[in-house]
């Protein structure tokens, strides 16, 4: 099993130097020395898994429309790079990312966040599990499941994908202390059976980490060198950063 201690993940690739969640940003993450990439996956109207962070298209000139309500052909036409001030950048499919991973063009470790339109449902998890299992069966020597973590803020998604993908580590994203307390009170944190907990940078401390004994803890998202200085002595499993300089690198 792959070791995940102290791994550094590029947040949506290297989003300050290339368009976030694009192959260019993921390939740059490898060049800059990141161990892995963090990226977001949604399900299109026609059942395709695509890589995109925002639920709605407002940042990209699409108004109040949900990205997942479009078909893949329409999503492919959106120049997300131009909207964010880069020369160009287009929305990749999960197949595109897996192909680059297979060919060694992007970092080895993958941190995949499930982005659902609604809290309930499960079609995305079904499609994701089918895709990953199929890829793993076709490429057994690559041992994809050793290098993959699937995460989400959605507890139900985390629990479901954990049951469907045996051997894949799962992580719960925490947004605030009150969120954790609500989870612990209603469901019982230990019943979630997660491998990783990902905390926002303003919540990470020695005192708070004691609540997560038994889980590896990661932090998101480091956006400055001072962010790194605040967390570097905490022996966290994973650092998610916008730039290698914010994760203790060059």
Q: pLDDT tens digit string along 15-33?
A: 989 999 999 999 999 999 9
> Structure pTM?
0.93
pLDDT band at 209 (very low <50, low <70, confident <90, very high): confident
Q: Which one is catalytic: 12, 53, 116, 201?
A: 53
Q: Is 53 noted as a catalytic residue in this protein?
A: yes
pLDDT, tens only, 89-115: 999 999 999 999 999 999 999 999 999
DSSP secondary structure letters along 74-135: HHHT-BHHHHTTSS--BPPBHHHHHHHHHTT-S-SEEEEEE--SSSS--HHHHHHHHHHHHH
Per-domain residue ranges of the chain: 7-55+92-247
Does 109 participate in catalysis according to the annotation? no
Angle at 13 between CA 104 and CA 243, to 5 degrees: 115
- Work out the angle between the directed axes of helices 23-31 and 94-102 (0-180°, nearest 10): 30
Point out the catalytic residue in the list 11, 12, 15, 115.
11
Which stretches of the chain are DSSP H helices? 23-31, 72-76, 80-83, 94-102, 123-138, 155-164, 177-186, 189-192, 206-209, 225-231
Question: Is residue 222 predicted with pLDDT exceeding 70?
Answer: yes
CATH superfamily of 7-55+92-247: Phosphatidylinositol (PI) phosphodiesterase (3.20.20.190)
């Amino acid at each position: 099993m792959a070791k995940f201690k102290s791994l550094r993940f590029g947040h949506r690739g290297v989003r300050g130097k290339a368009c976030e969640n694009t192959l260019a940003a993921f390939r740059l993450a490898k060049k800059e020395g990141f161990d892995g990439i963090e990226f977001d996956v949604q399900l299109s109207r026609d059942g395709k898994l695509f890589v995109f962070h925002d639920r709605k298209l407002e940042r990209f000139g699409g108004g109040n429309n949900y990205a997942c309500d479009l078909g893949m052909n329409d999503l492919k036409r959106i120049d997300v790079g131009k909207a964010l001030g880069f020369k160009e950048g287009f929305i990749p499919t999960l197949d595109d990312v897996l192909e680059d991973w297979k060919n060694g063009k992007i970092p080895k470790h993958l941190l995949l966040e499930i982005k659902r339109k609604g809290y309930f449902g499960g079609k995305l998890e079904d499609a994701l599990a089918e895709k990953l299992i199929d890829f793993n069966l076709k490429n057994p020597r690559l041992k994809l499941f050793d290098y993959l973590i699937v995460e989400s803020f959605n507890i139900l998604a985390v629990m479901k994908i954990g049951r469907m993908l045996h051997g894949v580590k799962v992580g719960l994203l925490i947004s605030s202390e009150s969120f954790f307390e609500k989870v612990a009170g209603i469901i019982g944190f230990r019943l979630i059976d997660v491998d990783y907990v990902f905390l926002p940078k303003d919540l990470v401390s020695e005192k708070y980490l004691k609540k997560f004994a038994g889980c590896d803890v990661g932090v998101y998202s480091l956006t400055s060198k001072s962010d790194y200085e605040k967390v570097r002595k905490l022996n966290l499993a994973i650092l998610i950063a916008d730039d290698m300089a914010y994760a203790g690198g060059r």
